[in-house]
Amino acid sequence: MKYDWKYCSLGGVVRVNIESGEDIAHLGELDQKLWTVLSCPVEGLEFDAKTLRMLDTDADGKIRVAEVVAAAQWLTSVVRDKDSILKGDSVLPLDQFNTDDPKGARLLESARQILHNLGLEKDSISIEDTSDSIAIFKNTLFNGDGIVTPAVSEDAAVKDAIESCMAAFGSAQDRCGEAGVDAERIEKFYAACADYAAWQADGQADAAIFPFGADTAAALAACDALKDKIADYFMRCKLIGFNDGFAAAVDVPAEKVAAISDQNLASHEDEIARYPLARPAKDGILHFDGINPAWRAAFDNLKGLVFDKKATGVDEAGWKAVLAKFDPYCAWMGAKKGAEVEALGLEKVQAILAADARQAVQDLIARDAALKEESESIDEVDKLMHLYRDFYTFLKNYVIFSDFYAPEPDTLAMFQAGKLYIDQRCCDLCIKVADMGKHADMAGLSGMFLIYCHCSSKVRAGQMDIVAAMTDGGTRNLRPGKNGVFYDRDGLDWDATITKVVDNPISVRQAFWSPYIKFGNFIKSKITKSAEEKDANAVSTLQSKAEPGAAKQPFDIAKYAGIFAAVGMALAGIGLALQGILNGVKGFTWWQWLILIAAIMLIISGPSCFLAWLKLRKRNLGPVLNANGWAINSVVLVNILFGATLTSVAKYPAGKYNDPYKKVVPLWRRILRWILCLAVIAFGVLYFTDNLGWAGIHRRARKEAPQTELVEEAPADAAAPADAAE
């Protein structure tokens, strides 16, 4: 038997209504075609982020219908009074756990365990109790996460193994907030210890690996520091042996030293270090007593580590023999294993291996992991409390959109990010923009006047983009670059700058005046352009006249006569046109004039108003949400009546206000205005008096009088011929 759903009308669209716990329990039976939303993003919503992650069970960043249905079925199965879910409470009495369901019984045990761990004795549990997992597991050694801390055992070897493992491979955070290790880290740690110890044993077994004993590493470092410089020296010597004429070229010219000899030579050590290690000679021997001063300290260190104390020099072959001694050591170092534990030292590593606490640590980890189901049940209680508080609110923003169409001004949909104050208006319909590229393609389909703003805050060092729907007021001042202030749902302010405007009608009133405003802007642009051209011509003329030797243009009477003739013809044409119009309406009564004016305005503004009315009736928020990653399954209409509630315009109380800086209209201009008004009134009075008053009646009587006299005198004139005939 099909479930008996209730329906309602919201935003001019019929939607399924969720008004009881049974409705929530039967969501799985609701035809997916009747859902307002099929999918919504997890990010960018004004909703509890933890609750959204709990609903997104596959962690793909989207909450789909199947996930909502699964949450509804689970929630209604573990709560005894399903209708209580609609209250949105953050506290759940323990007797409301449905123990008839195994899941509910297990959750009740976990809820009591949470209260016990927190040291609380009460007959209810709150979302504040379940949200702090660190506090819940603070005093527990084993909590089911498979991570153990040094405090889990009193055995010194176990503690030492755990602490050494954390030092070498880092730590994982336990549910109680302490640092610990898991099974994978312990295995890697003991494997590294075994490899490092074996590698060290191989080195100690072969004496050739350490040609200079304990100083082998230091000796290799000293050789590496001077290797390139010594190779350079022997190459210079070989060039001299090749050609004696190269001797001066490969040595340091005296002029180089002379150029800096009058300065502090100690400050030029870097430059001196670029000179040869020693003065090259044809014999190709590096004499130890003639070393470049900048390299003396490094060479003395090398000499003390690798050369015989009695040696006074070395040739290239001897130097290569020294380097060859390091080959076994370098090969051994290249095969190093267990480098992660090298910092512990060989002695410490050997002690850890000797204690062999690996199995003991693994047993403790296994013991902790065995409580996984119990600990996850504790997490399930936290999930229960979040859904118990938030799920119905989520459904109102997912299934029916009742929060968006709510008449209460404080109730906002979860996609409404805050309020934008700009151009003496407050826009309540503001949505965070996730992808400006998608919005560029979809926004125009909404039929709404949209303004995109980039919001930034130096206090919070954050940035975001929003789109605001403007549904009331004018649009003349809304253009890219205009600044406003955006307040998010937490009341924090952001600097907002318009970056893009999608132009659509805001109201029928605005559409009525739109043709006149556009015509006025057109005339203004033409006048401005003409004035700019005349100004440029005037400046050009003055500049040409100011140039020396510029010839004065003679007065061309023919040209000006042509201009005057053209102006006269234009004025005559305008006069004839006006005369034709006046002749056509001559004799109109006052109400006929009103009808004519109304007809003209209707012809001009009617099409604009009609098109605006059509668009305003079909404004749809769906494309804007779709561009943000939603899958809207129904139209989300923003009609004229509802749109008026989404934007509030500043209104000032009526009254007279004294403004000391108010612009004063000159007396002559006020007199001119009165004269023009009186002239218009006089024209109207004379016109209507001429047509409707005594003058009009008398004129019409004179037109009719001759016809009346002819009719009355005709019989008298016609009788005479009759008498004469008799």
For residue range 408-436, list pLDDT tens digits in order.
Answer: 878 899 999 999 999 999 999 999 998 88
**Block residue for tokens 């010597």:** 237
Local structure of residue 620 (DSSP, 8 states): B
Rg of the chain (C-alpha set): 48
Cβ distance 447 to 618 under 8 Å? Answer: yes
Lowest mean pLDDT among 329-343, 493-507, 559-573: 559-573
- Looking at the DSSP bridge assignments, the partners of residue 468 are 430, 451
What confidence tier does 80 reach under pLDDT thresholds 50, 70, 90?
Answer: very high
The pLDDT of residue 430: 95
Report how far residue 541's alpha carbon sits from residue 538's, in angstroms, rounded to the nearest whole number.
Answer: 5
Cβ distance 69 to 28 under 8 Å? Answer: yes
Residue 708 has pLDDT above 50, yes or no: no
Calculate what percentage of the chain has a pLDDT beyond 70.
81
Number of other residues whose CB lies within 10 A of the CB of residue 341: 26
Lowest mean pLDDT among 413-427, 464-478, 563-577, 591-605: 563-577
Report how far residue 499's alpha carbon sits from residue 521's, in angstroms, rounded to the nearest whole number.
Answer: 23
Q: Which of 588, 632, 320, 623 is nearest to 443 (CA)?
A: 623
- Looking at the DSSP bridge assignments, the partners of residue 450 are 469, 502
Residue 548 has pLDDT above 70, yes or no: no
The pLDDT of residue 515: 65
Q: How far is CA 486 from CA 1, 16, 409, 467, 664, in A?
A: 51, 34, 17, 11, 37
Cβ neighbours for 156, distance < 8 A, ≥ 6 positions apart: none
The mean of the pLDDT values for the chain is 83
More confident residue, 653 or 417: 417
Pairing status of strand 647-649 against strand 425-427: antiparallel
Report how far residue 388's alpha carbon sits from residue 381's, in angstroms, rounded to the nearest whole number.
Answer: 10
What confidence tier does 594 reach under pLDDT thresholds 50, 70, 90?
Answer: low
User: H or E segment at 187?
Assistant: helix 183-205
Q: How far is CA 725 from CA 521, 584, 713, in A?
A: 84, 53, 20
Residue 726 has pLDDT above 80, yes or no: no
Report how far residue 440's alpha carbon sits from residue 500's, in angstroms, rounded to the nearest whole number.
Answer: 9
What confidence tier does 542 reach under pLDDT thresholds 50, 70, 90?
Answer: confident
Report how far residue 111's alpha carbon sits from residue 92's, in angstroms, rounded to the nearest whole number.
Answer: 10
Local structure of residue 20 (DSSP, 8 states): S
Average pLDDT, integer, range 636-651 = 86
Residue 158 has pLDDT above 90, yes or no: yes
Average pLDDT, integer, range 714-720 = 45
Report how far residue 223's alpha carbon sits from residue 322's, in angstroms, rounded to the nearest whole number.
Answer: 9
Average pLDDT, integer, range 614-629 = 83
Query: CA 442, 447, 453: angle at the middle one, nearest 5?
Result: 65
More confident residue, 297 or 544: 297
Calculate what percentage of the chain has a pLDDT beyond 90.
51
**Block residue for tokens 């309020």:** 419
Lowest mean pLDDT among 476-490, 532-546, 680-694: 680-694
Average pLDDT, integer, range 281-306 = 92
Residue 641 has pLDDT above 50, yes or no: yes
The pLDDT of residue 426: 94
Average pLDDT, integer, range 19-37 = 95
Cβ distance 147 to 362 under 8 Å? Answer: no
SS percent in the chain: helix, strand, coil, step 5: 60, 15, 30
Average pLDDT, integer, range 210-223 = 93
Average pLDDT, integer, range 131-146 = 81
Characterize 50-84 residue by residue with b for buried, 16 or more Cβ atoms within 10 angstroms of its Cβ, and e for exposed.
ebbebbbeeeeebbbbebbbebbebbbebbbebeb
Report how far residue 455's alpha carbon sits from residue 464's, in angstroms, rounded to the nearest whole number.
Answer: 5
What confidence tier does 326 reach under pLDDT thresholds 50, 70, 90?
Answer: very high
The pLDDT of residue 714: 44
Max Cα distance, the chain (Å): 186
Report how far residue 379's alpha carbon sits from residue 145's, in angstroms, rounded to the nearest whole number.
Answer: 11
Report how far residue 103's alpha carbon sits from residue 105's, in angstroms, rounded to the nearest whole number.
Answer: 5
Residue 587 has pLDDT above 60, yes or no: no
Average pLDDT, integer, range 166-192 = 92
Cβ distance 477 to 454 under 8 Å? Answer: no
Residue 533 has pLDDT above 80, yes or no: no
Report how far residue 97's alpha carbon sits from residue 78's, in angstroms, rounded to the nearest whole number.
Answer: 6
Q: pLDDT digit string (tens) for 249-286?
A: 999 888 888 888 888 988 988 999 999 999 999 899 99
What is the per-residue DSSP string for 469-513?
EE-SS--TT--TT-EEEEEETTS-EEEEEEEEEE-----HHHHHH
Burial class (CB in 10 A: 0-12, 13-18, 19+), 434: middle
Report how far residue 220's alpha carbon sits from residue 109's, in angstroms, rounded to the nearest whole number.
Answer: 67
Q: Find which of 176-180, 304-308, 571-575, 700-704 is predicted with most confidence, using mean pLDDT.
A: 304-308
The pLDDT of residue 658: 77
Q: SS3 for 699? A: helix
What confidence tier does 197 reach under pLDDT thresholds 50, 70, 90?
Answer: very high
More confident residue, 656 or 372: 372
Residue 579 has pLDDT above 70, yes or no: no
